[in-house]
Chain A
């Protein structure tokens, strides 16, 4: 079975802090995604990566950056956390390309910014 592991289930940070959320998948998938999930808004795509060192902006990239130095690892970075970034963050991976194939999700990281 595909396993997508997110480094932290719950984080509490202060405004202005730098935040790293890490995601690792073990099935050699090319494609990895970071989503943000908020009540009533569903999942919104922050960034997408289709290969090592390759990234594409999603619908809400502002305030976020990503890093993909190795195929299995995709990191989401909040350079200076703000309260409006309090949310559930979900990492996902898929074998096929953008918008195709089955998505495999991690357990989620619930971030609270005070």
Chain B
């Protein structure tokens, strides 16, 4: 049983497209995290949110606590956005999704 489910697992987009990655969770949480991992690299935190919406540049993260669902949106996607995006939740411990592999084609 996975506490955090992401969809899609893989995503290919043309440069400039609007991208949405979804995350559903089944445990009580204090916060939800969106993480980014470039090929061969470490993981960086993009967002930590517990309600509503946050925006950073072309990235937007939303969360609906009642529905236990979050989305990560990328507007005007660029090849440098190609990475694995990981949803994680924190409560009594951290739980991680298996990631969404995004490829943006020029």
Contacts and interface: CB of A to CB of B under 8 A. Distances in A.
Chain B interface helix/strand/loop/mixed: strand
Given A42-B86, A42-B99, A43-B86, A99 B94 contact: yes
Contacts of A107: 41-42
Contacts of A33: 94
Interface residues of B, number: 22
Nearest to A56: B93
Contacts, number: 51
A104 B48 CA distance: 12
Interface residues of A, number: 21
A27 interface: no
A90 interface: yes
Contacts of B86: 42-43
Contacts of B105: none
Nearest to B9: A40
Interface in B75-104: 86, 88, 90-94, 96-99
A105 B42 contact: yes
Interface of A: 4, 33, 40-43, 45, 90, 92, 98-108, 110
